[in-house]
């Protein structure tokens, strides 16, 4: 309503400026009919008459009116183009529901091919008016097409969560609000606009972004490329510096390949870097270098004239990258041919590797941590993730050689036990091969069956298998900081299994289950209180309301 009133006021002012003077002149001539001065009146030597004075004064007044009217009209047209509104979240949700492709692939795939800038050019030559949205708190500027793609991705993420939700599961992690930057774009309402390109086709060779907005533009290009479905590669060091988080080691979205060191770029991949490269292919750097093309970027993303690039600060880029990682996670690698397990990694009740029942000594503590970390992460881990976990407080980019030495020494230790490859490095990730059997995976499989159980009987059976597979605290005796969250998560799953079984069992069996749960976590007051109450009043202790996640029998 406020916008409508404001727009009406602007329209009235524009009409008054453009149409007011001609209307007043017309009314004056109606009331005071005058004849235009003749040529004789203009050339006479006598004093100027009234008609002469009016004619001479009307000429500059007419010119001023034309200039003001033209400026007002041009400003109004430009503001109308720059303030096109985005579709509402409900419209985006309805559109995403119409096609299942939104759930699996990038939100919008649109790449156009405008004229390629000349080599070493500093201008791009685009004269179209840039249309976009200013993010709050000066977080950046987002083109309208990129903003629509972000809003569509957010709507698709919530729709997928609705589709995948299993009644009875907590799902508390998925109910956390989306980042502030995402909400700022998704909350915009208005009429939808015509489809536009997310990213112009980049010229062949390198592009050097210079100027005060170079890094913000590189962040915006990262998000825009991923939203458009392009493949992007970047090093962990550069990604951490761009996002102002040198220890970042979280999941990345599909289409983004994060490596420890710059390597060969695929033909269809765009490499983003903070340092100019000498390799062939398409790459974009922030800073001067020997690039085929150079773009001077201002703080607001303006390259030249009215053309603007998407610019984001570190917080906004982090918010949007987290959204993409949640909406389009990377798929785990396909399993290869079945392989006979020759080694066993014990993570429950200790941390040790054995081959054929014989322990394999690992000389370096860091090497043992690498084994435990890879056993805890079946999909593997990058060198950056391993460094951030094992050597916290040190910038991963500065101690890469320490990891290489640790892995090399660990492989020497493993070869003393078997010649079979136990650790493999492929696609920039370290992972244990199928030749290593990990006891923790049995517990995780049982936990998965608990989550997939439909009836109460199936759930109890799966909970029984879960607590039977639990052989002790995760990596007992090891006090590595990165291990604490995973250890506590597993402990809580086991405690929940014991309590679920106890609430459905007879008093005597329930008391045994609760006492077994106390051995899992002697510090838990709730388990102790349940056991004490059951020992004192076995009949009333079990008459409690079922918890929300429980299913009827």
| Domain identity same for 376 and 449 | no
| Domain identity same for 217 and 315 | yes
**DSSP state, residue 107:** S
In a 13 Å sphere around the CA of 423, the CA atoms on its Cβ side amount to 28
| Domain identity same for 303 and 347 | no
| Domain identity same for 534 and 415 | no
pTM: 0.61
**% of the chain with per-residue pLDDT over 90:** 31
**Which residue do the tokens 């060191």 mark?**
261
Structure confidence at residue 497 (pLDDT): 93
| Domain identity same for 291 and 156 | yes
Residues 6+ apart with CB under 8 A from 343: 353, 354, 355, 360, 414, 417, 418, 420, 422, 435, 436, 437
**Domain end call among 438, 462, 490:** 438
Asked, for residue 312, whether it belongs to a domain, the answer is yes
Q: Which range marks the domain in which residue 212 is found?
A: 89-107+131-165+173-327
| Domain identity same for 348 and 415 | yes
**Domain end call among 438, 464, 490:** 438
Q: Are 283 and 270 in contact (CB under 8 A)?
A: yes
Structure confidence at residue 249 (pLDDT): 73
Structure confidence at residue 471 (pLDDT): 93
Distance CA 530, CA 542 (A): 9
Kindly report the three-state secondary structure assignment for every residue of 416-451. CCCCCCCEEEECCEEEECCCEEEHHHHHHHHHHHHH
Encode pLDDT of 67-111 as tens digits: 777 776 777 666 655 444 444 444 444 444 444 333 344 433 333
Asked, for residue 119, whether it belongs to a domain, the answer is no
| Domain identity same for 423 and 535 | no
Quote the number of domains for the chain: 4
**Which residue do the tokens 């007002």 mark?**
72
Encode pLDDT of 337-394 as tens digits: 555 778 999 999 999 999 988 999 999 999 999 999 999 999 899 888 899 899 987 8
Encode pLDDT of 14-73 as tens digits: 777 667 777 776 666 666 665 555 656 556 555 655 655 666 666 677 777 777 777 767
In a 13 Å sphere around the CA of 252, the CA atoms on its Cβ side amount to 23
Asked, for residue 49, whether it belongs to a domain, the answer is no
Q: Are 121 and 294 in contact (CB under 8 A)?
A: yes
| Domain identity same for 388 and 493 | no
| Domain identity same for 248 and 101 | yes
Asked, for residue 534, whether it belongs to a domain, the answer is yes
Asked, for residue 553, whether it belongs to a domain, the answer is no
Q: Are 342 and 437 in contact (CB under 8 A)?
A: no
Distance CA 294, CA 288 (A): 8
Q: Where are the strands (E) in 11-53, listed by range?
A: none
Structure confidence at residue 258 (pLDDT): 86
Asked, for residue 467, whether it belongs to a domain, the answer is yes
| Domain identity same for 233 and 254 | yes
| Domain identity same for 380 and 406 | yes
Q: What CATH code is carried by the domain that includes residue 428?
A: 1.10.10.10
| Domain identity same for 296 and 180 | yes
**Stretch (H or E) spanning 387:** helix 383-390
> In the chain, which residues have pLDDT < 70?
1-7, 10-11, 17-18, 25-59, 72, 76-130, 167-174, 187-196, 263-267, 278-280, 290-291, 305-306, 332-339, 537-553
**Domain end call among 377, 406, 438:** 438
**Stretch (H or E) spanning 68:** helix 50-82
Asked, for residue 473, whether it belongs to a domain, the answer is yes
Asked, for residue 478, whether it belongs to a domain, the answer is yes
């Amino acid at each position: 309503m406020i916008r409508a009133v404001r727009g009406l006021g602007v329209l009235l002012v524009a009409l008054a400026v453009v149409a007011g003077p001609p209307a007043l002149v017309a009314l004056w001539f109606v009331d005071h009919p005058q004849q235009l001065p003749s040529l004789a009146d203009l050339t006479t030597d006598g004093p100027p008459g009234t008609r002469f004075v009016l004619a001479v004064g009307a000429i500059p007044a007419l010119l001023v009116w034309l200039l003001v009217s033209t400026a007002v009209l041009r400003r109004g047209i430009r503001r109308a183009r720059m303030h096109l509104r985005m579709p509402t979240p409900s419209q985006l949700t309805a559109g995403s529901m119409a096609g299942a492709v939104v759930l699996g692939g990038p939100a919008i795939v649109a790449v156009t091919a405008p004229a390629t800038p000349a080599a070493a050019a500093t201008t791009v030559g685009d004269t179209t008016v840039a249309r976009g949205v200013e993010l709050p708190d000066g977080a950046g500027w987002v083109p309208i097409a990129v903003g629509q793609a972000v809003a569509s991705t957010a709507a698709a993420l919530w729709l997928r969560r609705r589709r995948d939700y299993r009644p009875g599961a907590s799902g508390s992690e998925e109910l956390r609000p989306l980042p502030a930057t995402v909400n700022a774009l998704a909350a915009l309402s208005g009429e939808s606009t015509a489809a536009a390109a997310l990213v112009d086709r980049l010229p062949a060779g390198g592009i050097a972004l210079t100027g005060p907005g170079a890094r913000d533009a590189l962040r915006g290009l990262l998000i825009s490329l991923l939203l458009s479905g392009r493949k992007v590669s970047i090093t962990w060091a550069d990604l951490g510096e761009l996002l102002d988080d040198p220890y970042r080691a979280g999941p990345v979205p599909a289409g983004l390949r994060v490596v420890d060191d710059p390597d060969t770029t695929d033909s269809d991949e765009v490499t983003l870097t903070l340092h100019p490269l000498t390799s062939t292919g398409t790459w974009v750097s922030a800073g001067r270098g020997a690039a085929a093309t150079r773009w001077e970027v201002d703080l607001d993303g303006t390259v030249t004239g009215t053309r603007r690039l998407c610019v984001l600060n570190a917080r906004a880029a982090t918010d949007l990258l987290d959204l993409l990682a949640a909406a389009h996670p990377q798929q785990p690698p396909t399993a290869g041919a079945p392989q006979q397990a020759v080694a066993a990694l014990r993570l429950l009740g200790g941390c040790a590797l054995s081959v054929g029942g014989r322990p394999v000594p690992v000389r370096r503590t860091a090497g043992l941590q690498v084994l435990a970390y890879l056993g805890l992460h079946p999909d593997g881990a990058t060198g950056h993730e391993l460094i951030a976990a094992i050597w916290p407080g040190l910038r991963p980019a500065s101690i890469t050689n320490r990891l290489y030495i640790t892995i090399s020494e660990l492989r020497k230790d493993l070869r003393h036990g078997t010649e079979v490859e136990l650790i493999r490095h492929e696609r920039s990730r370290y992972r244990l091969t199928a030749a290593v059997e990990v006891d923790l995976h049995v517990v995780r499989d049982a936990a998965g069956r608990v989550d997939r159980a439909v009836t109460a009987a199936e759930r109890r059976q799966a909970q029984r298998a879960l607590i039977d597979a639990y052989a002790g605290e995760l990596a007992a005796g090891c006090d590595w900081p990165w291990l604490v969250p995973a250890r506590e998560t597993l402990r809580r799953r086991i405690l929940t299994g014991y309590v679920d079984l106890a609430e459905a069992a007879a008093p005597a069996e329930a008391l045994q289950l609760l006492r077994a749960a106390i051995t899992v976590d002697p510090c838990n007051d709730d388990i102790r209180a349940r056991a004490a109450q059951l020992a004192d009043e076995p009949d009333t202790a079990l008459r409690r309301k079922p918890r929300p996640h429980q299913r009827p029998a």
